[in-house]
Chains A and B, each alone.
Chain A
Amino acid sequence: MISPDIKQIKIGLVSCGIAAGGEAVYEKLVAAAGNIPVIKVGCLGHCYAEPLVEAVLNDGSSIFYGNVPGKDDAIENILALGEAGRFSVPEKRREKECVKVLAFAGRIDPTSFDDYVSGGGYDGLKKALAMPPEAVIEEVKLSGLRGRGGGGFSTGMKWSFLAAKDSTEKVIVCNADEGDPGAFMDRSLMESVPHQVLEGMLIAAYATRAAKLIIYCRAEYPMAIANLNIAIDQIKANKLNIIDGREIDIYIKEGAGAFVCGEETALIASLEGQRGMPRFRPPFPTDSGYMGKPTMINNVETFGNIPLILREGGAEFAKVGTEGGRGTKIFALAGDLEYPGLVEVPMGTTISEIVFDIGGADPEKVKAVQTGGPSGGCIPKAMFDTPVDYDSLRSLGAIMGSGGMIVIGNDRCMVETARYFLDFTHRESCGKCTFCRVGTTRMFEILERIVAGKGKVEDLDTLEELGNKIKAGSLCGLGQTAPNPVLATLRYYRDEYLEHVNDKSCRAAQCSALVDIVLDQSKCVKCKLCINSCPVEAVSADFVIDPDKCTRCNSCVDICPKHAIARIPKGENK
């Protein structure tokens, strides 16, 4: 039975919703819903509840259903507005979050121009066009907005540098090369509300009199590219790209997978069809950038904030946040927590509010968070009452970065975590600066040795020395920040390093060379699943695991129905 109260049904169908199986749910909904429109919308940020379906009622209220399986009875339940599977935003999250930049995300059809406009979209652009360009820049300065890509430079200042250039060929680039593993704010914003990013860019084009807008987007984000392209066509059809009688050129250039291209000068080299290697500054891009033209680069989320600033005014915008950062910030929460996903909070919210109250992580089980991805550092639980803004995080040896926040549980090894980040950065080093190219590789090799149980105590000093030299001797942000994960873990978790090198032990039971897999005979029900699943025949017919044959692949641990097999630090079995 379909409830007569339902006006329309929305389902979150961007990358995360699709990965969770949302397409099957969508098809079943369309087939079963009769005349009720079923609309594909963007991401509400509740990734842990995907696929997420919203039934919008005639009275304007909504009922949400989370983790909807693609099964007929679940669909019938939704259409009948049944009680089962209803989803509501966890109360603590509702108290702490402050949804401004993401206000449209998950509520409108990303491919519909009318949806965006009827919600107040392009009002910011309209307002800007009624002001002199200088006044628009003043408004952005007044808002206190700082670059959301990680650098934290004043956006208004950056705009004024470009505006001051006397050229008819100025270029504005949107940096959508979100290569930081663990961050997906920009993807979500571009997929869910592409027009908001483009509106911000058009306002920038008016304020600085730029002629060309380029979006440099990762090729790994096909849906973001598709939705942006649809939006660009709609902008052209509605002639919004004609500003002051000038026709603004807007297009997307796809990146080809290089982390260093997040760096301004490397990004420009990549746009020009070269290897994405950074170069010395000056000249700054605003003096000589893409093809030698004055160029300004802002991040996706930065542009996403601009329409808001114009709509509500810079002074109003600046009321949210702290001295160290105005407005809100979107964080991508992942790792060891209950509610992974996207969350938007006022600047200055503490880490513990984000991780525990919003993320639902268990304070007993959390060791640290990593902010800023491979360029950032870990922050131990003892410091979780730090408010999150640009300056306070830097003082802890971490950085805000673009907004990735990975929660690290007690059962994760900090040495292995540091090794993982160095594995990433040493491969992504472009090779231009010797310190970064050779230094990060040496640091990685030392860390490999330590997790393999072959480390020496002197290695820790070598890591620190190398780390500081790489920071000092590298041209761009990649090298200057690459040692951070190692230096931060050495600072806060030196005891774990010492255990690895002195006792050859990994307390988190993660480093395979320092781990044994043991079978508890008293729990074993002799079902033989472990024997059958073992790829190297390490489990004997009488259920004893041969440590020499065992590769620590975890197949038996995962498959054992009685949890009789465990991964434990080497030596603890005796």
Chain B
Amino acid sequence: MQEEFSFLSKIGREPGNLIKGLQAIQAAYGYVSDDAIRAAAEYFGRPEADVEGVISFYAQFKRVKPGKFKIAVCDGTACHLKGAPLIHTWINQELGINPGETSSDGLFSLETVACLGCCSLAPVMSVNGKVHAKLDRRTMMKILKEYAAK
């Protein structure tokens, strides 16, 4: 197995641990590359097509390298009612990216998530896991500028 995925050996080799292995890969690299698929298939003893199938099934797994700041806009029911679609519009206007894309400077990537579990503070988004609550356009722009300056 390639050096860069040697950490897989800490995970039990049974085929049932494939998802755990893919999560470890994504935690390390932010996405699952073609090389990673090959490594996981070999390690867990499953066909590459099978591994790709599992990856495409679950929303968590990314096949594209994410930006330095990963924006996850919540589109759960409460956030949707409180304006989540507008947040997408604003981000698109400011950064020119749609869900699943990374900005050309590699700084921001955008995804939509079903629910961050903070419904009472809607609308919310998270940037690299930190939740920002009760968004409107002004706070949204301020947050993006702060991250861009980091």
A residues adjacent to B (C-beta < 8 A) = 15-16, 18-20, 47-48, 50, 178-184, 187, 219-222, 253-259, 270-276, 291, 332-336, 340-341, 370, 373-374, 404, 406, 408, 412, 417, 420-421, 424, 430, 533, 535, 551, 553-555, 558-559
B81 at the interface (CB under 8 A from A): yes
Q: A181 contacts which of B17, B57, B115 (Cβ < 8 Å)?
A: B115
Q: Would you give 25 A-B contacts (Cβ < 8 Å), ordered by A? A: A15-B118, A19-B121, A19-B124, A47-B121, A181-B78, A181-B114, A181-B115, A184-B118, A187-B117, A220-B113, A256-B23, A256-B58, A257-B58, A272-B16, A273-B18, A275-B54, A334-B119, A334-B122, A340-B78, A340-B121, A373-B77, A406-B81, A417-B81, A554-B137, A558-B137
The CA-CA distance from A408 to B81 in the complex, in Å, is 8
Residues of B near A181 (CB, < 8 A) are 75-78, 80, 114-115
Residues of B near A341 (CB, < 8 A) are 120
Residues of B near A256 (CB, < 8 A) are 19, 22-23, 58-61
Q: 4 smallest A-B Cβ distances: which pairs? A: A340-B120, A47-B120, A181-B76, A257-B59
Min Cβ gap A335→B in Å is: 6
Min Cβ gap A28→B in Å is: 18
Residues of B near A553 (CB, < 8 A) are 86, 89-90, 93
Q: Which of B63-71, B102-110, B128-136 binds A? A: B128-136
Min Cβ gap A257→B in Å is: 4
- Contacts A48-B120, A220-B113, A406-B78 given: A273-B137 contact, CB under 8 Å? no
Residues of B near A182 (CB, < 8 A) are 76-78, 115, 119
Is B81 within 8 A of A271, CB to CB?
no
Min Cβ gap A361→B in Å is: 13
The residue of chain A having its C-beta at the shortest distance from the C-beta of B15 within the complex is A273
Most central of A50, A221, A255, A555 by chain B CB within 10 Å: A555
Residues of A near B53 (CB, < 8 A) are 275
Min Cβ gap B20→A in Å is: 7
B138 at the interface (CB under 8 A from A): yes
Of residues 10 through 42 on chain B, the ones whose CB sits less than 8 Å from some CB of chain A are 15-20, 22-23
- Contacts A273-B15, A275-B54, A340-B119 given: A15-B131 contact, CB under 8 Å? yes
The residue of chain A having its C-beta at the shortest distance from the C-beta of B124 within the complex is A19
Known A20-B121, A256-B58; further 12 A-B contacts with Cβ < 8 A: A15-B116, A15-B117, A19-B124, A181-B76, A184-B117, A220-B117, A254-B20, A256-B61, A258-B58, A273-B20, A332-B119, A553-B89
The residue of chain B having its C-beta at the shortest distance from the C-beta of A19 within the complex is B131
Min Cβ gap B137→A in Å is: 5
Min Cβ gap A275→B in Å is: 4
Residues of B near A183 (CB, < 8 A) are 115, 119
Min Cβ gap B19→A in Å is: 5
Min Cβ gap A47→B in Å is: 3
Min Cβ gap A451→B in Å is: 11
Q: A16 contacts which of B18, B20, B54, B121 (Cβ < 8 Å)?
A: B121
Q: Mark contacts of B70-106 with chain A using CB atoms, 8 A cut-off: 1 yes-contact digit, 0 otherwise.
A: 0000011110110100100110010000000000000
Min Cβ gap B104→A in Å is: 18
Residues of A near B58 (CB, < 8 A) are 255-258, 276
- Contacts A333-B120, A370-B77, A420-B77 given: A554-B86 contact, CB under 8 Å? yes
The CA-CA distance from A460 to B18 in the complex, in Å, is 44
Residues of B near A20 (CB, < 8 A) are 121, 133
Residues of B near A48 (CB, < 8 A) are 120
Is A276 within 8 A of B57, CB to CB?
yes
Residues of B near A178 (CB, < 8 A) are 117
Is A555 within 8 A of B90, CB to CB?
yes
Residues of A near B76 (CB, < 8 A) are 181-182
The residue of chain B having its C-beta at the shortest distance from the C-beta of A272 within the complex is B16
- Contacts A257-B59, A271-B16, A553-B93 given: A221-B117 contact, CB under 8 Å? yes
Residues of A near B78 (CB, < 8 A) are 181-182, 334-335, 340, 406
Residues of A near B117 (CB, < 8 A) are 15-16, 178, 184, 187, 220-221
Is B81 within 8 A of A219, CB to CB?
no
Min Cβ gap B82→A in Å is: 8
The residue of chain B having its C-beta at the shortest distance from the C-beta of A374 within the complex is B77
Min Cβ gap A99→B in Å is: 18
Residues of B near A219 (CB, < 8 A) are 23, 60
The CA-CA distance from A222 to B20 in the complex, in Å, is 15
Residues of B near A254 (CB, < 8 A) are 19-20, 23
Residues of A near B122 (CB, < 8 A) are 334
Is B137 within 8 A of A555, CB to CB?
yes
Is A420 within 8 A of B19, CB to CB?
no
Is A273 within 8 A of B16, CB to CB?
yes
The CA-CA distance from A392 to B90 in the complex, in Å, is 42
The CA-CA distance from A253 to B14 in the complex, in Å, is 14
Residues of B near A275 (CB, < 8 A) are 53-54, 57
Residues of B near A258 (CB, < 8 A) are 57-59
Most central of A221, A254, A273, A559 by chain B CB within 10 Å: A273
Residues of B near A332 (CB, < 8 A) are 119
Residues of B near A420 (CB, < 8 A) are 77, 80
The CA-CA distance from A228 to B89 in the complex, in Å, is 37
- Contacts A16-B121, A256-B61, A424-B114 given: A559-B54 contact, CB under 8 Å? no
Residues of A near B132 (CB, < 8 A) are 19
Min Cβ gap A514→B in Å is: 15
Is B137 within 8 A of A551, CB to CB?
no
Q: B116 contacts which of A220, A253, A334, A408 (Cβ < 8 Å)?
A: A220
Residues of B near A533 (CB, < 8 A) are 137
Min Cβ gap B36→A in Å is: 15
Is A273 within 8 A of B54, CB to CB?
yes
Residues of A near B93 (CB, < 8 A) are 535, 553
The residue of chain A having its C-beta at the shortest distance from the C-beta of B129 within the complex is A222
Is A253 within 8 A of B124, CB to CB?
no
The CA-CA distance from A274 to B46 in the complex, in Å, is 11
Is A270 within 8 A of B120, CB to CB?
no
Q: A179 contacts which of B57, B90, B115, B138 (Cβ < 8 Å)?
A: B115
Most central of A220, A291, A533 by chain B CB within 10 Å: A220
The CA-CA distance from A271 to B83 in the complex, in Å, is 35
Q: A291 contacts which of B16, B57, B75 (Cβ < 8 Å)?
A: B16
